[in-house]
Amino acid sequence: MTSIQSDIEARLATVEPDVEVLLAEVAGGSTIRLYVDHPDGVSLELCERITRHLVEIRERYALEVSSPGVERPLTKPEHYARFVGRTARLRTREAIDGARNITGEIVGASDRDVTVAADGGVIAIPYDNITRSHLVEE
């Protein structure tokens, strides 16, 4: 998790406690793309409220707030656990069996790693080796 994501989560925790920050990524050095989720779904009104709550962030960056969509980012162990049985695409820092891009079904998730059934078999990937990950539309 990036420090900007931690900062945004802390700011929203008190004013929008039901909002889950899935991913905050800096794009092009001047824009933050913020993917959020909410138990009641993500509406345009919620995105507008979040934007208003993040005035300090908007002073430094352009801010894009949106729902996760069908290719929902997976950034926390609980995300992987929630989507066991679904297909995900993962990019790793270090190659696993010669590959840094792995697509497969999530078959398990612990506090340390996610287990994926990929073409090469079932593999456990430590979270600290994952640089980016998202669900794949089925």
Ramachandran bin of 97, using left for φ above 0, alpha for ψ from -120 to 50, beta for the remaining angles: left
Per DSSP, the three-state class of 22 is strand
Residue 15 scores a pLDDT above 70: yes
> Percentage of the chain surpassing pLDDT 70?
99
Residue 11 scores a pLDDT above 80: yes
Q: What is the pLDDT of residue 30?
A: 93
Q: Are 41 and 87 spatial neighbours (Cβ–Cβ below 8 Å)?
A: no
Q: What is the pLDDT of residue 59?
A: 94
Say what the pTM is.
Answer: 0.78
Q: Are 50 and 35 spatial neighbours (Cβ–Cβ below 8 Å)?
A: no
For the chain, the C-alpha Rg in angstroms (whole number) is 16
Kindly write down the DSSP assignment for every residue of 79-90, as one continuous string.
Answer: HHHHTTTSEEEE
Which phi and psi (to 5°) does residue 30 adopt? -130, 0
Mean pLDDT of 86-97: 94
Q: Are 53 and 94 spatial neighbours (Cβ–Cβ below 8 Å)?
A: no
Q: What is the pLDDT of residue 1?
A: 53
Q: Are 95 and 89 spatial neighbours (Cβ–Cβ below 8 Å)?
A: no
Q: What is the pLDDT of residue 138?
A: 76
User: What are the structural domains of the chain?
Assistant: 3-66 (3.30.300.20), 77-135 (2.30.30.180)
- pLDDT tens string 56-78: 999 999 999 999 888 999 999 99
Residue 29 scores a pLDDT above 80: yes
